[in-house]
Amino acid sequence: MVLRFVPFLILCSFCSGLWAQEHVVDTVKIEGNKSTKASFLRNLVKVGSGTPLDSLLIQEDVTRLIRLPSISNATFKVEQTSEEGYNVIYSVEENFTLIPFANLFASSNDKFAFRIGIQEFNTLGRNITVGAFYQHDIFNSYGLSLRAPHLFGPKWGVAVAYNNFSTQEPVFFDNATANYKYGNRGVEVMGLHEFNFKNRIEFGGSFFTEDYQYLSGATNPNVPQELNVDKHLLKLIYHYDNIRYHYQYLAGFKSSLNFQYVGSTDNNLPEFLIGFNDFVYYERWGDRGNWASRVRLGLASNIETPFAPFTVDNNLNMRGVGNRIDRGTAAIVLNTEYRHTLIDVNWFVLQGNFFVDAGTWRNPGGDFGDFTDSENLRVYPGVGLRFMHKRIFNAIFRFDYGYGITKDASNGIVFGIGQYF
C-alpha cells in the first residue's frame, strides 16, 4: 500500500522543486528619460538586479515613477535572458518641468488679487523643486522654496522655505468687522521621510514674525490696533496615498493629517494647537468621467480671539465665497465635483466640471452647536473648465464660478493652476 504512494510523492517533490525556482531580475533599464537622471530613477525603484521578479512590485514602481513631477506616464516590459533570469525595462514619458504659474481670484464684493511665480520641478535631474512667487493681494508678498524629497536617498529628504506675506485681513469681533494689514515673515525647515510606497511624513518647524496694523472698520478697546509678535511653530504631517494615476484621471483614496503647535511671545496672539485632516477620494466613471471628493475636518484651541486660525476663503475651501470672509476655531468642509473630459487630443485636454462646496465653522470661543447655526453654514454649487497640457507638469488652468445659495451669499470666479483638490 505504501509503495503506491511513492510515485505520487516523487511527483510532488519534483513539482515543488520547479515552483521553488525563483525568477530573478538580471538588470533594470530605464528608457525615455532625457532630463531626469537614469541613476536617480534606478535608485528610486524597488526592483533591482538580483531581486525576485515580482509583478506587484513592478507595478508599484510604475506608479511611483508616475508620481514624480518629471514623469507624465510610465510603462514596463520584461525580457527573458536565461532560464531564470529576466531584464525589466521601464519606459517613461517626461514632463516639461520649468513651469510658470498664476492664481487670480475675486468675488462680486472683492478686489482682484493674484499670485504669479515660477517653479522648476526637476532641478539637477533629480526631481528637486525650486520655486519663487510674487503675490499682490492689496499689498505685496513674495516667497522662495526648495523641496528635495530624495536628497539623502530614496526615503529621506528636506524642504526649506522663506515667505514674506502682506495681505489685508478681516478681523471679526462684536458682530462687526475691522480690516488689518497682516504681515508674516519667516523661515521653515522640514524633514521628509517615506516609510513605504503609501505612507510618508513631514516634520519640522519654523520661526516667524506676525504683525497686524489697523486699517479701517470697527474698533474695540480690548482689540489692539497694532501687534508685532515673534512666534515659533512645530509641525507634523502624515500622508497616506493610494491613488492610481493615468494622465488626468485619478482613482483611489488618500489622506493627509496636519498637526501644529504654535508658540507666541504675546498674549494677544496666544499659543495654540491646530490639527486638520483632508480625506480625498477619486473614482473613474466610464472612459471620460472622474468623480472627486474631499472632506476636511479641522480643530484648533478654542480661544476667543478675533485672529482665529481657520478661514473661509475662495482659494482654500469655498469657490465663490470671497477672500477670507470669516474665521473659526473648527471647520467641516466638503468639496465634491464631477469632472468630464470634453476634448482629449494628443497633448491637449479640455475638461468640464460641476461642483458643490459646503462648509460650516465653530466661532472663536463658541461650541460645536455653531456647526448647525445657519449663520455659519455655506453652500456653493458651481461649474468650471480645465485646460490641460499632458506633457507639462501640473499644467492645468482652472476656471470656476461658484454661486452661493445660503444666507447672505455672494458669487464669484476663481482662477488657478492645478486641480482644486
Taking CA atoms, 354 is separated from 120, 403, 418, in Å, by 32, 12, 16
Strands (E), 56-152: 71-80, 85-94, 98-105, 113-123, 128-137, 139-148
**Backbone dihedral region for residue 175 (phi beyond 0: left; psi -120 to 50: alpha; all else: beta):** left
3-state secondary structure of 57: helix
Grid cell locating 247 = 494622465
pLDDT at 107 (0 to 100):
46
Grid cell, residue 414, equals 476663481
* Sign of the CA dihedral running 211, 216, 220, 221: positive
Q: Quote the CA–CA distance of 23 and 229 in Å, as a whole number.
A: 63
**H/E element, 164:** strand 156-173
Structure confidence at residue 17 (pLDDT): 42
pLDDT of residue 326: 79
Domains of the chain: 21-94 (3.10.20.310), 98-417 (2.40.160.50)
Low-confidence ranges of the chain (pLDDT < 70): 1-21, 104-111
Closest CA to 276 of 355, 361, 211, 199: 361
Q: What's phi and psi for 288, nearest 5 deg?
A: -125, 0
Residue 3 confidence (pLDDT): 42
In this prediction, residue 14 carries a pLDDT of 39
Which single residue is written with the C-alpha cell 507638469? 393
